[in-house]
A and B are shown apart, each in its own frame.
Chain A
Amino acid sequence: MLEKKKLEEYLNRCMDSNADFAEIYEEKELSETINMLNGSVENIFTKNTFGVGIRLYKGLQAVYGYANETDDETLIDLIDDLRDALGKEEKSSDVTLERVEYENRHPVRIRFDEVSLADKTDLLKRANDAAKAVDERIVKVDGTLLNVRQEVQISNSEGKLISDTRVRTRMMVTAYSQEGNNFQSGKDTPGGGMGLEFFETTKPEDIGKEAARVALVNLVAKDCPSGKMPVVIDSGFGGVIFHEACGHALEATSVAKNQSVFSGKFGQKIASDVVSAVDDGTIPNAWGSQNIDDEGNFQKRRVLIKDGILTSYMIDRLNGRRMHEESTSSSRRESYMYEPTSRMSNTFICEGNSEFEELFEGIEKGLYAAKMGGGSVNPQTGEFNFAVLEGYMIENGKITYPVKGASLIGKGNEILFNIEKVGKTVRRGQGMCGSMSGSIPTDVGQPPIKVSSIIVGGTANE
């Protein structure tokens, strides 16, 4: 990382222009991906990333440059290019940096780069063997262990100098099941913002077994019917409904320019009374947590919706200027190659009052989405979609048979009012969220919920 004195010199050079704010983001990342197929280590790939991103603001204009050569000449050339884009002004800036110290909320006990590859491949082997042992119809098991250690240092013309180290561990197992020509798959992909101690509480064997279980369910699942119907969406990754249907549209990236269905809706009712929702980047060692956001502000817990009322957007510094609001510490980016913008962290619907069984009461014909996949949204129109990885039909209030090949679609601003009942226990699931500032780790979550009506896309027409 660059020395304080050098950073001050660069920031002063940035500010000798029409810029009213300058920021230097430095990043060093080590990531390791180990892939195993049916017990054989197929591929190990190590990635070393190091680069610097420099950003200058002038009002609502932002210029950004990045490079991975950090010699004086390269960075000065880059700064001068950026200054030229905003217009140079002879002024004498005097940026003095002061390092901000704080207590790490996300300590790591077992660093992956201090553990042998043999020990790490053994974790995958345990998941592989457990999945294979579930049933002889599990014909292949594909497992990947991902370990990341990202160090960032952020300094700005307001005198802030702050660092953070983000560590992530994730195991992704896909089990393939086969019976005759029927070939299906199931997966489980848990992760955490911690080191390899993650596997002390989340056992590799359980990950393998869960992937195998879903693959076997899909082997006997029938085609899912189509049409509008009530849906019970289980906890954990089921929270992707809120992430897609609402979360993205509450990001300042779209709100600030009036490009969201929720622009101008602050303080208004946007969901049914039973819905409260939070974006919390402070949860210790969670997949989507950080000590600081990518503009160097301490992460926060943001109450987005309280009893159906919109109480907060997620705002970064630049969009905050457009909205005349303060940043909510929501600025994130994949790497130094991206300008940061407002993004989610760990986003979930809060606990409600309904028992699990109550969610099914009165449903004559509906869908129970036990496990969800990813989705996407158009924040301007609110139209969203997401995939069901494990589903069951509900008939006369009871779960009857498994179904496959379903997706759920709707409009975010309508679906939030259709959340009729919310269960009691929140669980979260891990995912990678893609948007303007790249692909970042986020948790989605919720208790089990009942949605009174949603379009289910399936292949069986009645």
Chain B
Amino acid sequence: MNKQKWIDYALSKGFDSFEIYQNNLEEKNITYYQREMESYVKSHVLGIALRGLYQGKMASISTEDGSDENMEKLIATMIEQAQATTSSDSGVILEPMTTEEATKENRFIRPDASSIDKTFKEIEDKFYAYDERVFQVTDLFYTEQASVREISNSREMHVKDASQVQAVIAGVAVKEGDEIKNSFNVELLYDVNEFDTDAFVKKAADKALNKLHATSIPSGTYPVVIEKDAMTSLFTAFSGIFSGDLIGKGISPLKDKLNEKIFADNITVIDDPKNTDALVICNYDDEGYPTSRKTLVDQGVFKVMLHSTSSAMRMQMESTGNGFKQGYDSPVGVRPKNCCIVPGEKSFDELLEEMNEGLVIEGFQGLHAGINMASTNFSLQCSGYYVKDGKRDKSVTLITAAANFLELMKDAKAVGNDLEWKTETIACPSILFKGIAISGE
């Protein structure tokens, strides 16, 4: 793509400023089933997104064909878009900005096909040897992704960065009598020669085996520890409440709540796209705005909301460098990046001891549907185990947990020290809550 040609043409057609965003993604996925390679997927996709400010209105479009013959048509479409847009909070195409850049060492070493073959056969054999109740290795999946992001604009910005990820995913089913349970495990694969297949198999198999003989429990209000992975998924589902876009539009439950107490004293939330503990770091957001560390909630008090240039303009504030896209083919939105609840001091076992009797929730299902972002009410299928005298008791399944998220977060009694950054850009430690409504038998 001749970027300068496109920029010059857009400016000649009346655009005040113009941006070209490119994402070059190479991906390889390999699936094994019954010790044989079942599927191999290879891809190379170049995605292009264009944004331009035309008579004070922002137009945006994505394409997978950046050839010059498309130029006139796409830019004409953008002009029509800008003319039909009525909101004046358009955001800006930025001049180059500088920041103290963080760096993260790339520890991923590409495995060759024979090492994957050897490792997967070893994993499958170890699953079946681990416990006679393992009756099927349902999924064995390797994925590697390498992407390069580039942002160039008519104001002479040029931002470029790259990221790489490699991971192994396994699914296992266990059976006892007629009862079948399953589980999945995802681990990053830095160096296939150092990958601990025993630990990987143990983690996935134990997770599934522990679910056997699970029963429901009577409906009632129970003290709960929401285990770190489940807490991460719940917090992620509600992370939109910090969006300055939704707050500015008046459709976030945190509108008018800045500097008010929204969570318990022991909850502090930090968003830091440069946090090198996280899988991928970003020195600039998808608008080229420098990212920074922000304390969104400080000891329960709502201090900072997240902004892109557009949402910041609406509220006459500054961008926080959180203008991120979901993919190159989506508009810039407001999203947290490497956001976490700051860990406390108690270990997971100490949280159970403090609870003494109650429930541990290990996973929520249906998070895409069972939450209401306006009211923050949720009612979700979940599973886990009962705790008696501070120790694990019977496994529990087919129950729901229902609460109001903001009310629940005010009831946090203790925060665990087990925060762990994995593949997600949001992470939480385990948290002990006073009580949650459980529906079961």
Q: Which residues of A contact B (CB under 8 A)?
A: 34, 37, 40-51, 60-69, 74, 78, 81-82, 85, 117-118, 121, 139-140, 142, 176, 183-185, 218, 224, 226-228, 257-259, 337, 339, 373-376, 378, 380-381, 383-387, 404-407, 409-411, 434, 455-461
- A65 & B41 in contact (Cβ 8 Å cutoff): yes
Q: Which residues does chain A contribute within 8 Å of B400, judged by CB atoms?
A: 226, 385, 407, 409, 455, 457-458
- B377 & A459 in contact (Cβ 8 Å cutoff): yes
Q: How far is the CA of A60 from the CA of B31 in the complex (A)?
A: 12
The residue on B at minimum CB distance from A33 is B331
Q: Please pick, from A64, A376, A381, A411, the residue contacting B368 in the complex, using a CB distance under 8 A.
A: A376
B220 in the interface (beta carbon within 8 A): yes
Q: How far is the CA of A183 from the CA of B241 in the complex (A)?
A: 13
| Total interface residues in chain B, CB < 8 Å | 74
- B366 & A140 in contact (Cβ 8 Å cutoff): no
Q: Which residues does chain A contribute within 8 Å of B253, judged by CB atoms?
A: 183
**Majority SS of interface residues in chain A?**
strand
Q: Which residues does chain B contribute within 8 Å of A461, judged by CB atoms?
A: 219-221, 437
- A405 & B41 in contact (Cβ 8 Å cutoff): no
Most chain-A CB neighbours within 10 Å: which of B39, B221, B369? B369
B230 in the interface (beta carbon within 8 A): no
Q: With A65-B41, A376-B368 in contact, do A47 and B380 touch (Cβ < 8 Å)?
A: no
Q: Which residues does chain B contribute within 8 Å of A43, judged by CB atoms?
A: 60, 85, 87, 331
The residue on B at minimum CB distance from A215 is B374
Q: Which residues does chain B contribute within 8 Å of A456, judged by CB atoms?
A: 439
Q: How far is the CA of A64 from the CA of B28 in the complex (A)?
A: 10
Q: Please pick, from B41, B87, B372, the residue contacting A185 in the complex, using a CB distance under 8 A.
A: B372
**Which residues of B263-303 have CB atoms within 8 Å of chain A's CB atoms?**
none
CB of B9, distance to nearest CB on chain A (Å): 17
A-binding segment of B62-70, B197-205, B339-347 = B62-70
The residue on A at minimum CB distance from B253 is A183
Q: Please pick, from B65, B138, B329, B438, the residue contacting A380 in the complex, using a CB distance under 8 A.
A: B138
- A257 & B44 in contact (Cβ 8 Å cutoff): no
Q: How far is the CA of A257 from the CA of B86 in the complex (A)?
A: 53
- B181 & A41 in contact (Cβ 8 Å cutoff): no
Task: Flag B56-83 by CB within 8 Å of A: 1 or 0 each.
Answer: 0001111111000000001001001101
- B87 & A46 in contact (Cβ 8 Å cutoff): no
Q: Which residues does chain B contribute within 8 Å of A339, judged by CB atoms?
A: 39, 41
Given contacts A37-B87, A44-B59, A384-B381, 20 further A-B contacts (CB under 8 A): A62-B40, A63-B39, A63-B41, A65-B41, A66-B45, A69-B46, A82-B40, A85-B37, A117-B81, A226-B438, A226-B439, A337-B43, A376-B366, A407-B366, A407-B400, A409-B400, A410-B398, A455-B400, A459-B402, A461-B219
B350 in the interface (beta carbon within 8 A): no
* Number of A-B pairs, beta carbon distance below 8 Å: 235
Q: How far is the CA of A337 from the CA of B331 in the complex (A)?
A: 20
Q: With A226-B438, A374-B368 in contact, do A117 and B84 touch (Cβ < 8 Å)?
A: yes
CB of A219, distance to nearest CB on chain B (Å): 10
5 contacts between A and B (CB under 8 A): A43-B60, A258-B136, A383-B381, A405-B402, A410-B398
- A51 & B368 in contact (Cβ 8 Å cutoff): no
Q: Which residues does chain B contribute within 8 Å of A64, judged by CB atoms?
A: 39-42
**Majority SS of interface residues in chain B?**
strand
Q: Which residues does chain A contribute within 8 Å of B43, judged by CB atoms?
A: 65-67, 337
B173 in the interface (beta carbon within 8 A): yes
Q: With A40-B86, A257-B33 in contact, do A68 and B370 touch (Cβ < 8 Å)?
A: no
The residue on B at minimum CB distance from A113 is B77
Q: How far is the CA of A384 from the CA of B365 in the complex (A)?
A: 8
Q: How far is the CA of A62 from the CA of B375 in the complex (A)?
A: 46
Q: How far is the CA of A459 from the CA of B408 in the complex (A)?
A: 12
The residue on A at minimum CB distance from B441 is A228
Q: Which residues of B contact A (CB under 8 A)?
A: 33, 36-47, 59-65, 74, 77, 80-81, 83-87, 89, 136, 138, 173, 180-182, 216, 219-221, 249-251, 253, 329-331, 365-366, 368-370, 372-375, 377-381, 397-404, 437-441
Q: Please pick, from A47, A62, A409, A459, the residue contacting B398 in the complex, using a CB distance under 8 A.
A: A409
- B381 & A458 in contact (Cβ 8 Å cutoff): no
Q: With A69-B44, A409-B400 in contact, do A48 and B62 touch (Cβ < 8 Å)?
A: yes
Most chain-B CB neighbours within 10 Å: which of A69, A81, A386? A69
CB of B392, distance to nearest CB on chain A (Å): 21
- A380 & B41 in contact (Cβ 8 Å cutoff): no
Q: Which residues does chain A contribute within 8 Å of B251, judged by CB atoms?
A: 140, 142, 176
- B369 & A376 in contact (Cβ 8 Å cutoff): yes
Q: Which residues does chain A contribute within 8 Å of B375, judged by CB atoms?
A: 183-185, 218, 404-405
CB of A211, distance to nearest CB on chain B (Å): 12
- A387 & B369 in contact (Cβ 8 Å cutoff): yes
Q: How far is the CA of A140 from the CA of B41 in the complex (A)?
A: 45
- A67 & B45 in contact (Cβ 8 Å cutoff): yes
- A407 & B402 in contact (Cβ 8 Å cutoff): yes
Q: Which residues does chain A contribute within 8 Å of B437, judged by CB atoms?
A: 226, 458-461
Q: Which residues does chain A contribute within 8 Å of B59, judged by CB atoms?
A: 44
- B45 & A337 in contact (Cβ 8 Å cutoff): yes
- A68 & B41 in contact (Cβ 8 Å cutoff): no
CB of A448, distance to nearest CB on chain B (Å): 21
Q: Which residues does chain B contribute within 8 Å of A386, judged by CB atoms?
A: 366, 369-370
Q: Which residues does chain A contribute within 8 Å of B173, judged by CB atoms?
A: 259, 380
Q: How far is the CA of A62 from the CA of B39 in the complex (A)?
A: 5
- A226 & B219 in contact (Cβ 8 Å cutoff): yes
- B379 & A459 in contact (Cβ 8 Å cutoff): yes
Q: Which residues does chain A contribute within 8 Å of B138, judged by CB atoms?
A: 257, 259, 380
Q: Which residues does chain A contribute within 8 Å of B37, judged by CB atoms?
A: 61, 85
Q: With A373-B369, A374-B366 in contact, do A457 and B379 touch (Cβ < 8 Å)?
A: yes
CB of B70, distance to nearest CB on chain A (Å): 8
Q: Which residues does chain A contribute within 8 Å of B404, judged by CB atoms?
A: 459
The residue on A at minimum CB distance from B245 is A42
The residue on B at minimum CB distance from A118 is B84
Q: Which residues does chain B contribute within 8 Å of A434, judged by CB atoms?
A: 368
The residue on A at minimum CB distance from B80 is A117
Q: How far is the CA of A257 from the CA of B34 in the complex (A)?
A: 10
The residue on B at minimum CB distance from A34 is B84
The residue on B at minimum CB distance from A409 is B381
Q: How far is the CA of A224 from the CA of B65 in the complex (A)?
A: 51
CB of A84, distance to nearest CB on chain B (Å): 9
- A226 & B402 in contact (Cβ 8 Å cutoff): yes
Most chain-B CB neighbours within 10 Å: which of A50, A139, A385? A385
When A and B form their complex, which 5 residue pairs have the shortest distance between CB atoms, in order from nearest? A457-B400, A226-B439, A374-B369, A385-B381, A117-B84
Q: Which residues does chain A contribute within 8 Å of B403, judged by CB atoms?
A: 459
Q: Please pick, from B83, B136, B380, the residue contacting A457 in the complex, using a CB distance under 8 A.
A: B380
- A47 & B41 in contact (Cβ 8 Å cutoff): no
Q: Which residues does chain B contribute within 8 Å of A49, judged by CB atoms?
A: 64, 329
Q: How far is the CA of A226 from the CA of B218 in the complex (A)?
A: 10
Q: How far is the CA of A360 from the CA of B253 in the complex (A)?
A: 36
Q: With A68-B46, A226-B438, A387-B379 in contact, do A85 and B401 touch (Cβ < 8 Å)?
A: no
Q: Which residues does chain B contribute within 8 Å of A383, judged by CB atoms?
A: 365, 381, 397-398
Q: Which residues does chain B contribute within 8 Å of A375, judged by CB atoms?
A: 366, 369-370
